[in-house]
Structures are given as structure tokens and as C-alpha cells.
Structure 1
């Protein structure tokens, strides 16, 4: 599932390929991806205008259309963007196709149909409406600690709570906790202040590194968990093997040597 680093990569990709190009046509191949907007409304807002800029909050990408409207993209489990020549075959699972006057087009692809396209007047208002927490790369250390401390659930599922901090999902929470040497099932209220600070530092480190490699797991450092994130893989630190467990119904990968269960000595 695309998380903050992948969405930031999509943002930079769109900025590089698709800004300031007159939009000639908007095609929706599956109406289900539209949220609180009709095809007529979306096409009317985009056609003969151009994308002026983008902003991201957590897993949401907002595109300024330059007429007081913003198109907001959520990528669900499998979403991505493709900028191609207009005569190229449709991208696999293209659900929205924005054709530009320069002979190119931007395809919003979404295999599992869990992504959504919105049209809003103010992205900040949507962030508030969705009750999203601060962006994981924007939140400061003190605010992160203040927001984290009251929670009593497992640290992995808590970090994935988008109302606490926006942008983290299954993959990068595993990496953050591996780097912080914290077991994913550790209750938040059992964490010490130094452990919470370490989680914050590792969150910023991991997200920045993932953005550097454009969200491609195989390009992450071999000392990271992500390239080895499957049951039975060797721990990248050489301390054992990677185990798979479930935390609040979600898969979690960890090293039991580097990340002992709560109550066991590290």
C-alpha cells in the first residue's frame, strides 16, 4: 500500500511531468473512484485549465487546478501515476486519464479500486474533515510525544492510526520499530521517554531514506528490514531470523532478538 514516501514520490513525479500543461480532456473509466464529485463536475473544473502545484498531507495528494479548486488523490492499496504519450496504450488499470494539449496524458491507475478522486475548495478543510493527524514528516518531537503518550494500544497499530500521525502504514511502521529496536506489540503506555524519542527519530530517518529511494524497497539499505521483510529471512543485523506476527489484526515483521517481546530484557 502506498505510504507517505510513495505519495511524496508521486507528488514529485507529477510536479516534474504534468504542471502548467493545458488539460484537453478528462476520462473516468470507473465511476467508483470518484468521491463526492461527478465526472461532469471534475471534467468541468479541469478542462482548459492546468495543474499549478501540489501539496501532500500523509497519504493524500492535492493538485491545484488554478481556478479555486483542488483535485485530491488517495491511492488506496495499489494506486500509482503514469505520464505517457497520448498514443501509448492505456496504463494497466487506468481509472482516470487526464489528456494534455501537448500530446501527453497522466494516468491514475488503481488495480484494486480502493483509491479515490475528490474535488475540493480547500485541502486543509478536507484534512480536518477526515480527522487526519499532523503529517509524519512535519510533526515536531514534543507534539509527537504528547499525541502518542495517551494511547494504550500496541505501538505498531498506534503509529498506523492516521488521526495520531498521518502517512504511516504497515511497511514503514515495521521498519521504524526495527530501527528503534521496539517490539511491534509493545503497549504504548509501557514505553519509556527515551524509547518514544527513539521512535520519533527513527520515523524521520526511515521516511527520509525511503523518499530518497523513491519508495522502492529493493533500493533501501541492506541494513534495513524492508528488503528482508518476509517470514524466515535473516535479520539484517545478523542476530537471528525475521518473524511474522499479527498486531491488532495486521501483519507485523520483526526480529525477536533485536526486538524482544515486552517484559523481556533487551
Structure 2
């Protein structure tokens, strides 16, 4: 992600190349994600067209052009992959990639292109074009009234390490009131605007502070070093126009992209590839120093670059130099369930810090929570096949829970056949009782029939109690 140094480079490009130019026309692409704050691409283009660029300002990772005349100013944020490009030049890349070319115009994934005309007092005399590019659509474009610093999102930002870095005393007061890990705090844009992932890692490496160190565990020397490096690292990067190949060779930034567990393993890979250094998986240009083979420890041996997760971000550190204070343990990550609770995750080292720097509100939160999930259709079918009613598991057994016919046959086979099965004995006894009852009834009917005398000369015999009872028995 472009951070304070890269955004400052974009601001300088506009200030040094476009100041005094008039925006003759605006080609804005429809994008309801990029254009935000109640502004669509048409309104954005209409409001800035015809006005002249008087300058460009920045705070943290947010920057904006100041324009002549009445109206709001265009406020920009790069997000993950945003860039500014002047026609005929390379874009303001975060790390140069082969696909980024100065020859393609308009550039791929552009969100707006400004056609600029020179005016009296402008920087140059030839027409120019300026584009805002964002391939992943994580950047933001909006219109904000002047003064921009008095309105969100700029008004919500903390101090800028370059523009208004606090004194050590002010910094200490701000820091001691914070909770959580030191990396999580300095990456909070409401605390220090412009500090992103790589700047935070570099600051903490140069200050020799473990990224997962809790704020209360920082010593006075730690706070002094942190205060100094928080300004020194961005200043150094800006001094070389955020060109990562010109960063100091002893910076962690120059060595972090191979993502190896140790540099010794990386050196072995380099030897196998005949000295060619491996480019990172994102396709970024190799920034390792050509005159060095590894990041050195003070004794000249290779440093061990380790990758952990802090505050939800991949974090690089040198474990020989960035140690936790004595007596301070790194808490294990705690799962609180949710959508991803059942998803497959990568194994995390035991030393990893919890993403959240806040304190746990209850002791029960210390236990890992496993969310209950309903049975799938396949699981329900399997449960029914086994004779288990999943919806009535807590209830007592009912008639529905009797073994199926197939299961009874299987039980009978195991017990030596139906003769030996307990159910067979019950049926046998029941059948014998019913048979005895039927025999007695037949004998009683025979006795009653014997008492009935036939009557001659009548077509239909009169109904008697005995005959009625007989007919009932016959039926």
C-alpha cells in the first residue's frame, strides 16, 4: 500500500508539474466505489472543470488539489494500488512492476484524466495530462469544501510525522494513554497519520522494539527511540523521492520481500538460481542491495527475518534485535467465532500476538469459542440411517426410535436367528394366548347352536339373541 512517502511523491509531482495549469476537461469513469462522499463521476468532473490548479496539499495518506474559483476541492486516497501518472512519465508506483509503462495512454484502470492547458504563470508552457489510476478499486475520490482539514476524512487524522510531529513530551502523553500493541497504535491513522505497514515495521526495527510489545511495557528509552524513528524513517524515504531502490541498505524494507523464514535459506535459493535474486510473489521489482547478500547483524552474521501477524497485518521483524521486554509474554490469538471460524487457516506460530490490542472484557473470552453449526443434509441422512433422531437428541426414546427392520434382522443374525431373539419369545407368547381365546369362543358358539331348534314352514327365522350373537361371531 502506498504510504506517507509514496503519497508525498504524488503530491510533489502535481505541485511541481501542474501548478498554474487550467483544467480544460475531465474524463471521469463511472465507478460508484471509487467516487464516494455523495459524489458521482459526473458531478466530480463538472465541479473541477474550468478551474486552475493552485497547489497540492497532503496529510497522512490523503492528498488534495487546491483550485481557483468557487467550489470544492478534489480529495484523493490511493488505497492499496492507487497511483498518479503524468502523460509521458511512469506512474507513482509503490514498487515498480514490469506492466507499469509510460507509453500506454490513457493508462489501464484510470478513474479520471485531466487535460491541462498552460496559463500565464504556470510551471511550463506545453499542454499536459494527469491521470488517477486504481486497478483494485480500493482508492477513494471525493469533493470536499475548503478548508479540507476541517472536514472528514482529514479532520479525523492524528499528527503527521512530517508536517506536525509532536515533541517528545507531547508524544509520551499521547502514547501512555493507549492500549494494545505498539505496532497497532502507530498504525492507527487517528494517532499517527501516514504510517502504514512497511513504515511501521521499519520504524520498530530501527528502534529495536518488538511489534507485539504492549504499550505499558515500553521503557523510557523505547519511547525516545520510537519518537525519533517515527519521523526519521519517512524523512529518509522522502529524501530519495520514495524510490525504494535508493533506501539505505541496512533497512529491513530492502530484505523483507522474499518472505523467507531466514536469510540463510534465501541465500541457498540464490545460489541455486546462479546468483539471481528471487523477486517477490507480487511481481514487484527486486530491491535488495547488489553489493550485499543479506541483512547483517552487528557482528556481521545474517539476521533472521521472521514473519508474524500483528493487528491483522503481516509483520517482519529481526528476532535477534527486536526482543520482548523481560517478563512480558505474547498472548496467543483468540478465536471469537464468526463467518471464518470454520474456514481452513494457515498455522500460526505460538509467539503471535492477538490482532486486537484491546483488553478482554470477560474471563470467558480467554477460552476458544467454537460456534455451533447445523447438520448438513448428508449428516442428517447418515444420522437417520443409524437410528439417531438429531432433532430430539435431548428427549427420551419414543416409539420412533425403535430399530429398523434391517437392524432387527441383523441383530437376529448375531443372536442365532429369530428363535433366539427376545422379540420372538414375546410374539410366541402373545400368539399362544390369542389362540386359546379363539378356541374357547368356538366351543361356546357350538353349544349355543346345539340349543337352537329348527322351525318348519317359515321362510325367515325369527331373530333370537342366540342367532344375533352367532351372526356377530361369523362376521
1:81 to 79, 84, 96: 84
1:179 to 206, 210, 213: 206
After TM superposition, give the deviation of residue 47 of structure 1 in Å: 1.1
CA distance in 1, matches of 2:30, 2:136: 11
Q: Give the SS at the match of 1:189.
A: helix
1:140 to 159, 163, 166: 166
- Tell me, which stretches of 5 or more residues in structure 1 are unaligned? none
- Structure-2 residue corresponding to 1:262: 325
- Tell me, which stretches of 5 or more residues in structure 2 are unaligned? 89-102, 118-125, 264-293, 329-475
For 1:200-228, what per-residue CA distance to the aligned partner results, in whole angstroms no more than 9, with x for missing partners?
10111101011112222221110111101
CA distance in 1, matches of 2:27, 2:171: 41
Distance 1:128 1:110, change over 3 A: closer
Number of aligned pairs?
Answer: 264
After TM superposition, give the deviation of residue 129 of structure 1 in Å: 6.5
- Structure-1 residue corresponding to 2:128: 104
Distance 1:60 1:223, change over 3 A: same
Distance 1:21 1:174, change over 3 A: same
Task: State whether structure 2 residue 128 is matched by structure 1 residue 65.
Answer: no
After TM superposition, give the deviation of residue 189 of structure 1 in Å: 1.1
After TM superposition, give the deviation of residue 245 of structure 1 in Å: 0.6
Distance 1:197 1:9, change over 3 A: same
For 1:17-74, what per-residue CA distance to the aligned partner results, in whole angstroms no more than 9, with x for missing partners?
1111111111222423111212332222211111101111100001101224221110
After TM superposition, give the deviation of residue 113 of structure 1 in Å: 0.6
- Structure-1 residue corresponding to 2:295: 235
**Runs (4+) of structure 1 moved beyond 3 Å?**
127-130, 233-239
For 1:125-154, what per-residue CA distance to the aligned partner results, in whole angstroms no more than 9, with x for missing partners?
225675211112212123222211111211
2:313 to 244, 250, 254: 250
> Which one has more relative contact order, counting CA pairs under 8 Å at least 6 apart?
1
CA distance in 1, matches of 2:2, 2:154: 21
CA distance in 2, matches of 1:111, 1:252: 25
CA-atom RMSD, angstroms? 2.0
After TM superposition, give the deviation of residue 76 of structure 1 in Å: 0.3
- Structure-2 residue corresponding to 1:154: 181
Q: Give the SS at the match of 1:52.
A: strand
Q: Which moved more, 1:227-236 or 1:46-55?
A: 227-236
Q: Give the SS at the match of 2:174.
A: helix
- Structure-2 residue corresponding to 1:92: 108
Quick check: 1:94–1:108 contact (8 Å CA) kept in 2?
Answer: yes
Q: Which moved more, 1:98-107 or 1:162-171?
A: 98-107
Q: Give the SS at the match of 1:106.
A: strand
Distance 1:103 1:112, change over 3 A: same
After TM superposition, give the deviation of residue 89 of structure 1 in Å: 1.8
Higher strand proportion: 1
Quick check: 1:20–1:50 contact (8 Å CA) kept in 2?
Answer: yes
For 1:96-139, what per-residue CA distance to the aligned partner results, in whole angstroms no more than 9, with x for missing partners?
11111353210101111111111111211225675211112212
After TM superposition, give the deviation of residue 157 of structure 1 in Å: 1.1
Choose 1 or 2 for highest CA Rg.
2
Q: Give the SS at the match of 2:112.
A: strand
